[in-house]
């Protein structure tokens, strides 16, 4: 059995508007009581974070819009200038070291209008580095002089001390030439022989000598007689 009932004291012919619901008024819909509150929102309630726009729940009486960042940046550098490499040689170990200092270059991405940059400008860092090379070493030494060419330090070697060349004697004139002195001279009669060679100073040799006595004359009845004694 169906009973049609009407609500006493209620004007069922009245028309409810959206504004009545937003204002927390009660409305009857198909004999059902409808009560509620819907927050009113405007474009000022919209928020933007990067490329995301957040629209809070609520009633928007008119269209709402929110602009996001269009993005603006400069063109990044196309080249990076590195520091000039340096080269050093250790004085005691002979280690050659080449090094490059750290270098940084700011790089900002190019962003076209209407797009949102998701990050910020950054930097490119070229790390510092070094490379070492140690030469073969040779201790200091003294080289005695000779008539032939000598290699005091081999090619590609680094000396860790002085390389000295011995002094040449003031009487040295080379091989095949004998050094001579007075003792090398010989005498035969009145002849002195000097052998070939180098004489650093004057040399002399005495030959045998003798003294003749003075002759004496004596008189006699038969004439004069000359006598001389030779020793």
Q: Are 166 and 144 in contact (CB under 8 A)?
A: yes
Give the whole-angstrom CA distance, residue 214 versus residue 139. 79
Confidence of residue 146 (pLDDT cuts 50, 70, 90): confident
Mean pLDDT in residue range 134-153: 83
Measure CA 16 to chain center. 85
Same structural domain for residues 127 and 140? Answer: no
Confidence of residue 107 (pLDDT cuts 50, 70, 90): low
Mean pLDDT in residue range 86-98: 74
Give the whole-angstrom CA distance, residue 205 versus residue 192. 7
Confidence of residue 59 (pLDDT cuts 50, 70, 90): confident
Whether 92 is covered by a domain: the verdict is yes
Write the CA distances from 221 to 17, 217, 224, 225, 227, integer angstroms: 206, 13, 8, 11, 17
Whether 148 is covered by a domain: the verdict is yes
Confidence of residue 63 (pLDDT cuts 50, 70, 90): very high
Q: How many domains does the chain have?
A: 2
Same structural domain for residues 92 and 115? Answer: yes
Q: Is the full-model pTM beyond 0.85?
A: no
Give the whole-angstrom CA distance, residue 83 versus residue 112. 33
Q: What percent of the chain has pLDDT over 70?
A: 54
Average pLDDT, the chain: 73
Give the whole-angstrom CA distance, residue 132 versus residue 55. 63
Mean pLDDT in residue range 106-130: 59
Give the whole-angstrom CA distance, residue 154 versus residue 94. 14
Measure CA 93 to chain center. 17
Whether 59 is covered by a domain: the verdict is no
Whether 125 is covered by a domain: the verdict is yes
pLDDT on residue 84: 72
pLDDT on residue 198: 85
Give the whole-angstrom CA distance, residue 17 versus residue 23. 10
Mean pLDDT in residue range 72-80: 57
Mean pLDDT in residue range 55-73: 80
Task: Name the residue range of residue 160's domain.
Answer: 136-168
Mean pLDDT in residue range 32-49: 81
pLDDT on residue 208: 82
Identify the weakest region by mean pLDDT among 6-10, 67-71, 165-169, 210-214.
6-10
Same structural domain for residues 123 and 105? Answer: yes
Instruction: Count other C-beta atoms under 10 Å from residue 192's C-beta.
Output: 14
Whether 74 is covered by a domain: the verdict is no
Identify the weakest region by mean pLDDT among 5-19, 123-137, 201-215.
5-19
pLDDT on residue 95: 75
Whether 117 is covered by a domain: the verdict is yes
Whether 182 is covered by a domain: the verdict is no
Same structural domain for residues 128 and 148? Answer: no
Domain boundary among 168, 191, 225: 168
Same structural domain for residues 125 and 97? Answer: yes
Whether 181 is covered by a domain: the verdict is no
* Structure-token pair, residue 162: 């002085």
Q: Are 96 and 89 in contact (CB under 8 A)?
A: yes
Same structural domain for residues 110 and 141? Answer: no
pLDDT on residue 139: 84
- SS3 call for 12: coil
Q: Are 165 and 132 in contact (CB under 8 A)?
A: no
Identify the weakest region by mean pLDDT among 37-41, 152-156, 220-224.
220-224
Is pLDDT of 5 > 50? no
Output phi, psi for 47, to 5 deg.
Answer: -125, 150
- SS3 call for 210: coil
Q: Are 164 and 143 in contact (CB under 8 A)?
A: yes
Q: Which residue has the higher pLDDT, 226 or 152?
A: 152
Select from 25, 28, 23 the least CA-distant residue to 8: 28
Same structural domain for residues 90 and 128? Answer: yes
Domain boundary among 148, 168, 188: 168
């Amino acid at each position: 059995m169906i009973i049609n009932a009407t609500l006493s004291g209620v004007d069922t012919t009245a028309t409810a508007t959206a504004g009545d619901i937003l204002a927390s008024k009660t409305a009857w819909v198909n004999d059902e009581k409808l009560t509620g509150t819907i927050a009113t929102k405007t474009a000022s309630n919209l928020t933007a974070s990067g490329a995301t726009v957040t629209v809070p729940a609520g009633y928007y009486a008119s269209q709402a819009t929110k602009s996001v960042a269009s993005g603006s940046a400069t063109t990044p550098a196309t080249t990076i200038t590195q520091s000039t490499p340096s080269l050093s040689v250790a004085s005691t170990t002979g280690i050659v070291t080449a090094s490059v200092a750290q270098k940084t270059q700011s790089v900002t991405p190019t962003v076209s209008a209407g797009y949102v940059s998701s990050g910020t400008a950054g930097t490119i860092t070229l790390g510092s580095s070094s490379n070492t090379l140690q030469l073969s070493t040779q201790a200091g030494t003294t080289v005695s002089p000779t008539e032939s060419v000598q290699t005091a330090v081999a090619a590609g070697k680094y000396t860790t001390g002085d390389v000295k060349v011995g002094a040449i004697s003031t009487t040295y004139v080379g091989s095949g030439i004998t050094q001579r002195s007075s003792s090398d001279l010989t005498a035969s009669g009145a002849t002195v022989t000097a052998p070939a060679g180098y004489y650093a100073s004057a040399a002399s040799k005495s030959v045998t000598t003798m003294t003749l006595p003075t002759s004496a004359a004596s008189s006699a009845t038969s004439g004069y007689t000359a006598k001389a004694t030779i020793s």
